[in-house]
Structure 1
């Protein structure tokens, strides 16, 4: 298949492109910088004043939208929040415009999303059938992003919203910051420790994206989380076990709020989210349990 990837130079995007190429697909990456192409991988400039990407792309079988300013970078100031929100809206609008210009429309549109669309809770269990009522910045951003992406269905594309949980990788995402205190022998429970962490190994993230492309029965919201979420206290203890470091030095919620501002919600609050759609459609997780995932990433 010929697959377009927006946001292909990020943490998840680079690994996804490698997987797509390994599976024999032709990949076109939309980028703001001029890059050299090779074999089945090519780069097309977009989101620049003189860029007309649709002329170079012509047609595609699938479009994957991972574009947007990272929520993990910097404090969530008003300016940064606007960048996070606007970057997703602008990129999705441009992808919809590109699709509208294609003489042959893609059969599937995969849009990144996040479990932040579900309200934080210590007691609720969320599946794709759960009603999402976003009540904070991240929830509103995800909700509006999905509403924008739904417009791809106008062009006959099967539209999938990949609601990523806490993505674990050794060269990006949340894990390097989560493991650092343990490596310094200062690891311990963050906040109350009762908050849920719905995590997933980055390998299973990219495998789930490819699975969604290949399985026509997958449509609408898809929770991209491992089937075994843990509370923060157990999550931290597991890090300590794998790294052979003590879990003893608690980090109070106030300290996290002072250090990270509003972004502290990412570690102080959470949701218990289950990947019902993936499981019902036969997806097999390579890393269903946290300890095996961490041993793979931290070895």
Structure 2
């Protein structure tokens, strides 16, 4: 298949590109600057877009799928008023451009897989959320994701099947949340974060890219799709598992008030949480590489 990726040089995009090429797909990375990109594989191409002189529709005449991962990171700085505006605008603008690109293509792609997040459900200690859950939270993350998804669904007006890939906490070796979670344990100061009862709905990066390909190729998948493991963990148990895997103690607690003082509103990413299950993709027959947290961490931290 010919697959275009917006946001293809980030954490998920890089892993997805390598995986899709390994499976025989041809990948087109949408980028503002093609001059500093080197095509290192015959099935990898860079396509200029979002520039006044760019005409991506001329190079994407036979695209089967588009994956949109573009947007400013939510966990790389304090959520000031200005930064929250950038987080929302970056997602809405990129998605709008992707939908505009779809509208300009004479041959429409079969599917758009648009990044989203489980933050749409809001936070809870006792509820369990699946794709059939109708609840939309009222906090910044939830409202941002809800607006983002509505923008992506405009692709359906062009007859394009649209999948809203609601990512959980993605675990990888060098990027994502895990390296920062592991660091205190490496320094022998790891311990329970806040109450420890908050849910952490995680997923291994290898399952993320496989689930995206699954969503592309399975024509019956449409709408929300939770990209999480079937076995979410409470934060206390997650931390204990990190300690056990790398042989470090789990003992020094970090109170929630300290995190809220340090991180402000962004502290919700670690202080609060939600229990989310990937019901839809399991019903479609997807088989996880890593359902068990200990096995996932062994793979990431010991290879």
* Smaller-chain TM-score bracket: over 0.9
Gaps of 5+ in 1: none
Whether 2:89 is the aligned partner of 1:86: answer yes
Kindly report which structure 2 residues correspond to 1:159-198, keeping only aligned pairs within 5 A, or say none: 159-198=162-201
Q: What secondary structure, in the 3-state scheme, does the structure 2 residue paired with 1:159 have?
A: strand
Contact preservation (8 Å) 2:123, 2:137 = no
Partners in 2 of 1:32 and 1:70 — Cα distance?
A: 18
Give 1:10's aligned residue.
10
Instruction: Output the aligned Cα RMSD.
Output: 0.9
Kindly report which structure 2 residues correspond to 1:143-222, keeping only aligned pairs within 5 A, or say none: 143-222=146-225
Give 2:33's aligned residue.
33
Partners in 2 of 1:84 and 1:32 — Cα distance?
A: 19
Q: What secondary structure, in the 3-state scheme, does the structure 2 residue paired with 1:173 have?
A: coil
Gaps of 5+ in 2: none
Q: What secondary structure, in the 3-state scheme, does the structure 2 residue paired with 1:211 have?
A: helix
Contact preservation (8 Å) 2:111, 2:161 = yes
Structure 1 window deviating more from structure 2 (17-26 vs 34-43): it is 34-43
Partners in 2 of 1:132 and 1:206 — Cα distance?
A: 27
Partners in 1 of 2:211 and 2:132 — Cα distance?
A: 19
The alpha-carbon deviation at position 94 of structure 1 amounts to 0.7
Give 1:23's aligned residue.
23
Contact preservation (8 Å) 1:59, 1:103 = no
Runs of 4 or more, structure 1, over 3 Å off, are none
The alpha-carbon deviation at position 45 of structure 1 amounts to 1.5
Q: What secondary structure, in the 3-state scheme, does the structure 2 residue paired with 1:43 have?
A: strand
Pairs aligned (count): 299
Contact preservation (8 Å) 1:167, 1:201 = yes
Give 2:130's aligned residue.
127
Structure 1 window deviating more from structure 2 (81-90 vs 33-42): it is 33-42
Give 1:235's aligned residue.
238
Give 1:141's aligned residue.
144
The alpha-carbon deviation at position 54 of structure 1 amounts to 1.3
1:272 to 268, 272, 275: 275
1:59 to 48, 57, 62: 62
What TM-score do the two structures reach when normalised by structure 2? Answer: 0.97
The alpha-carbon deviation at position 280 of structure 1 amounts to 0.3
Partners in 2 of 1:272 and 1:122 — Cα distance?
A: 8
Partners in 2 of 1:298 and 1:206 — Cα distance?
A: 19
